Amino acid sequence: AYTDPHCQGKQVIVHLFEWKWSDIANECERYLGKKGFCGVQVSPPNEHVVVTQPMRPWWERYQPVSYKLHSRGGTEAEFKDMVTRCKNVGVRVYVDSVVNHMAGLGRQGSGSGGTSFNSDNFDFPGVPFRREHFNSRDKCPSHDGNINNYGDPNNVRNCFLVGLTDLDQSQEYVRTKIAEFYNHCIDVGVAGFRIDAAKHMWPGDIKAIQDKTKDLPEGGRPFFYHEVIDQNDGAIKVGEYTPLGYVTEFRYCQKIAEGIRNFGMLHGVYDPGWGMTDSAHAFVFVDNHDNQRGHGGGGNLITHKHPRDYKMAVAFTLAYNYGFTRVMSSYYFQSSDQGPPHNGDYSAKDVTINADGSCGNGWVCEHRWNPIGNMVAFRNAVAGTGVDNWRNENEEVSFSRGQKGFFAMAKSGHMDRTLHTGLPAGEYCELVSDCKKKITVDGSGNAHIVIDNSAEPVIAFIVGGPT
């Protein structure tokens, strides 16, 4: 239940963090559709606070003012246009939904859509939510009303997360308002939702809200993935949420970073003994918009700031058979609060595309890097197969996926070996080089594998790939 992303079996979504709707629509049409992406996670589309101190940080979008679809990403009309244009090229939209809380205490004024609000009075007329719809102090065991004890589920779920006014989802009215927001998105053509701060809501309340959502217009239940940061460090476990859809597996970020530092560890990137959730429920990523800048669940991980390691980490993740994968697409930043590249009026800058396919105007576009974007076709092609012919020595790793694909990566950037690929005989196009290299598999399934690109030390090929 809730685990079908509704994209014809495709396997990879991309988070176009802080992109505006018109740019996302263009990207669906000019790149994502052709490359086989299943969909896009968009930044929260509903009305949010406008923060001026610091000036327009990215995180203002995690402080809702109403469920009107008017955000820094664009207007409702622009949102609808994006969803439709993406869907028309086979790319679905997944909404980052912030429903644990509304804006932080101390904030008031008017939101990104012009609706007034006052957090200290718990007044959000745009929904409307009033004081009685929020968790009151008697349900929260913390002395100052804020979350401060991750060992106590009542503290984690009924208190205020960093001062954000905490909604009481046990109430029928609150559930209904959230479900109406979801249903509005579903009417527009959205295929699913990330549930922000799911860890801070009771699984039973989330289920009650899900039960109020409609089927998609084309049939089937919406896709849900729950943001639960479980690093074996508190009372809340991802397993409480697996009956409700996919769950974010933050331990994978640590495991893959460790595996890239020391290839010998790559066999253990999925470590059930460490509590990591099963592949059918694990929502997997190398980094996300929080931990790449030291927010939520930060720590030892790899980001675009180390491009070579990052390419290896994402390429491996897409080649391997663990979980449902999301690729991060970032903007360059110096400070951890800094919002997207902006114009003089603080609107997000256009994403421009350079002649070589990379992005301009301060957008990183990791999803367009060859060892990332071109590996989407690999993951789609090998879906449902296991890992075979595993070889992992001398800081090299290689394996096949069933009889459908073969992947190899060498930390040094150089490898020259004859390996058993398990694939049918034939000449294959190497994906990462855009077919500039060819690989011949002989009648016994062996191939001469050469890696000679130090910056992108990865090769991959699939049955039925480009020729």
Residue 119's binding partner out of Ca ion, ligand LAG, none, with CB under 5 to 8 Å set by partner kind: none
Asked if 63 interacts with ligand LAG (CB under 6 A), we say: yes
- Binding to ligand LAG (CB under 6 A): which residues in 186-205? 196-197
Q: Which of 72, 200, 281, 404 binds Ca ion (CB under 5 A)?
A: 200
Q: How far is the CB of 116 from Ca ion (least distance, A)?
A: 24
Q: How far is the CB of 290 from ligand LAG (least distance, A)?
A: 5
Q: How far is the CB of 201 from Ca ion (least distance, A)?
A: 5
Q: Which of 290, 309, 396, 456 binds ligand LAG (CB under 6 A)?
A: 290
CA distances from 90 to 28, 159, 297, 344 (A): 9, 41, 33, 35
From the list 78-86, 157-165, 319-327, 374-382, the region that binds ligand LAG by CB under 6 A is: 157-165
The answer to whether 395 is a known catalytic residue is no
CA-CA-CA-CA torsion for 411, 412, 416, 419, nearest 10 degrees?
A: -10
Q: Which residue in 60, 166, 196, 249 is the catalytic one?
A: 196
From the list 59-67, 238-246, 324-332, 449-457, the region that binds ligand LAG by CB under 6 A is: 59-67
Asked if 59 interacts with ligand LAG (CB under 6 A), we say: yes
Structure tokens given for 333: 């930043």
Asked if 366 interacts with ligand LAG (CB under 6 A), we say: no
Nearer to ligand LAG, 209 or 319 (CB): 209
Asked if 163 interacts with ligand LAG (CB under 6 A), we say: yes
Q: How far is the CB of 64 from ligand LAG (least distance, A)?
A: 9
Q: How far is the CB of 196 from ligand LAG (least distance, A)?
A: 5
Residue facing Ca ion at closest CB distance: 200
The answer to whether 388 is a known catalytic residue is no
Structure tokens given for 464: 């039925």
Asked if 166 interacts with Ca ion (CB under 5 A), we say: yes
Residues that bind Ca ion (CB under 5 A): 100, 157, 166, 200
Residues that bind ligand LAG (CB under 6 A): 59, 62-63, 98, 104, 161-164, 196-197, 227, 290, 295-296
- Catalytic center residues: 196, 227
